Structure 1
């Protein structure tokens, strides 16, 4: 009854079905890998929240000795870990990162190099501030930088992707994205290869700064795609089976009258 499956036409349909199902399974596996990667990032963020900060010099590789250069990028596993260090802010090289949104408002993030006792520096993202009146790109009034020794606790953050070229304007370095190597080239000392998102500071930070929120990865979206692609693969195989069965048995004849109803009188309307 199913010998027709060996014909070229049906073998071609079967091959296309298997290729389509295989591609869908592979897409589901890729989304599963994305789900696992994003879940691991979320676990890192959550674990760091309750972590005792480690000294910067112990947690990260040093920046080297050449001024204007960024140090080695640490392993990905160090991202979001909490570190602490003490130094002096270099307000002459404050960086304004424009076009940043916090609580649905567009403004600037303020990144200031913290110069350590050995002469190297680490970039510290001190927080978000609103722009000056005149629009979202109007250079803000930056609160005074603390003088003297400052102790910070922050979370390790890697350079952002697609960094632009920093430019100096009105006494500040401006950029759209925080690319540590690009910013390090503007500075007169060696810089660590990552920057810090400020958690705590002593003396305390100016209250005008809003903390930069740490967003969790949307891993459940990937989980949904996994189920979607695997269901599509299953439906493709089930659809082939349904077509093959329909070809073997033919469509049901709905016009046929059941034998047990033959000879029954035709119903008439009541008088």
Structure 2
């Protein structure tokens, strides 16, 4: 009934379904891996974001080699802003609005320099490519509480003078002319003394895992449905063959092939049986015997 499944056409369909199902399985696993990464990030936010600030001396190793488990950890630092080397970071949207971020080096008492992201500014109306106003950083000694963030990779695009395409600390250091911590920067929370105005503070990261789990289940379901669809098509094909008689013809052909393949039985010549005289012959013989 289902011998047609061994034909090249149906074997090709089966191979195609297997390939499509494998792609769906890969995409489902990828979604689960993304969910796991987001859950890990959420764990660091829950652990570190509201923790008590640690002094820079305890967190100094994270600026030399970043540890993902330290992301969002508040760090307290005291130093002086190098406002002359302030930079504007381009293409930094916030809540769907285009804008910029303000990056300023903070020179600490021991001579170490750390990049401080002071916050977000909306795109300006007065001059294209620049915010309308950049609130000044406090002058003199200032104590900054800020959260650890890893340095960003370099982007394959440039930026005007006074701006950066990303928080690429290696590029920033090349513009400063003095050493800058390379593995991490900090996202400002508070400054003491506090300025009258400051850039908009970054919001707390979302704790939403997103739809990755549902997407993964959908991809796995799609992969399974390919096999269900193939099975349904095979069932329909079998019924169509039965109704049209193709399946019986297939069986007759197979039977003929089997008979033709089997050795022919040895034929013997039939033996002719001797028959007795007929009624007419007996009557003729009786007349002859009486002289007629």
TM-score range, shorter chain: 0.7 to 0.9
Q: Determine helix, strand or coil for the equivalent of 2:139.
A: coil
Contact 1:107 1:137 in 2 (8 A): no
Q: Quick check: 2:135–2:197 contact (8 Å CA) kept in 1?
A: no
Change (3 A) 1:49 1:72: closer
Is contact 1:106–1:136 with CA below 8 Å preserved after alignment? no
Does 1:192 pair with 2:202?
A: no
Larger Rg: 2
Report which of the two has the higher share of strand: 1
Equivalent residue number for residue 232 of structure 2: 242
User: Does residue 180 of the first structure (1) align with residue 172 of the second (2)?
Assistant: no
TM superposition shift of 1:25: 1.0
Aligned pairs for 1:78-117 within 5 A: 78-102=70-94, 105-117=97-109
Separation (CA, whole Å) in 1 of partners of 2:237 and 2:122: 69
**Kept after mapping to 2: 8 A contact 1:166/1:183:** no
**Structure richer in helix, relative to its length:** 2
The 1:134/1:140 distance shift into structure 2, 3 A limit, reads closer
Number of the residue aligned with 1:26 = 26
The reply on whether 1:17 has 2:17 as its aligned counterpart is: yes
Q: Which consecutive aligned stretches of 4+ in structure 1 deviate over 6 angstroms post-superposition?
A: none
Distance in 1 separating the partners of 2:124 and 2:215: 43
Q: 1:161 to 1:214 in 2, by over 3 A?
A: farther
Q: Secondary structure at the match of 1:153?
A: strand
Provide TM-score, normalisation by structure 2.
0.72
TM-score by length of 1: 0.77
* Larger RCO of the pair (alpha carbons < 8 Å, separation 6+): 1
Instruction: Structure 2: give runs of 5+ residues left out of the alignment.
Output: 244-292
Q: CA RMSD in A?
A: 2.7
Quick check: 1:119–1:189 contact (8 Å CA) kept in 2?
A: no
The runs of 5 or more residues in structure 1 that have no matched partner are 63-70, 254-271
> Where does residue 144 of structure 2 map in the other structure?
152
